[in-house]
Every structure is written in C-alpha cells, then in structure tokens.
C-alpha cells in the first residue's frame, strides 16, 4: 500500500475491506451475486494488487 497510497493505514484498509459483503440472489430463474458498495479505503486493497474491484452485480 505504501507505493499506492503512502498515507494509507493498513488496519483501516483491511477493516474497510472486511465490510464488503456479497450475497447470491435468484430472480426470474437467473442467479446473481450482488456485493455491497466499497466504503472507506477498501478500494486501495484492489489498487495495491493491480486488480479491479468486483462488479456490484454479476450474473452467474
């Protein structure tokens, strides 16, 4: 994280990342995974590893 956001606090980033939840839903015979919004500094965890955050809604 220090190269991505030098001012970032590891504990806060991990705490914010742990707040992200996902739930599987079925609607009209289709299945989806829906995640909560990224809050605080959770996005920095993805940025640090060069990954994009998962989509908010993903059809399976």
Distances (CA, A) of 17 to 20, 40, 43, 51, 60: 6, 9, 8, 14, 23
Structure confidence at residue 40 (pLDDT): 94
The reported pTM is 0.75
Structure confidence at residue 9 (pLDDT): 86
pLDDT tens across 21-37, in order? 999 999 999 999 999 99
Whether residue 24 contacts residue 57, with contact meaning beta carbons closer than 8 Å, is answered with no
What is the 8-class DSSP label of residue 25? E
Residue 39 pLDDT class (50, 70, 90 cuts): very high
């Amino acid at each position: 994280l220090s190269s991505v956001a030098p001012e970032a606090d590891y504990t806060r980033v991990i705490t914010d990342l742990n707040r992200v939840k996902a739930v599987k839903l079925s609607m009209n015979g289709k299945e989806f995974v829906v995640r909560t919004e990224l809050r605080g500094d959770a996005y920095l965890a993805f940025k640090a590893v060069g990954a994009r955050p998962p989509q908010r809604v993903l059809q399976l």
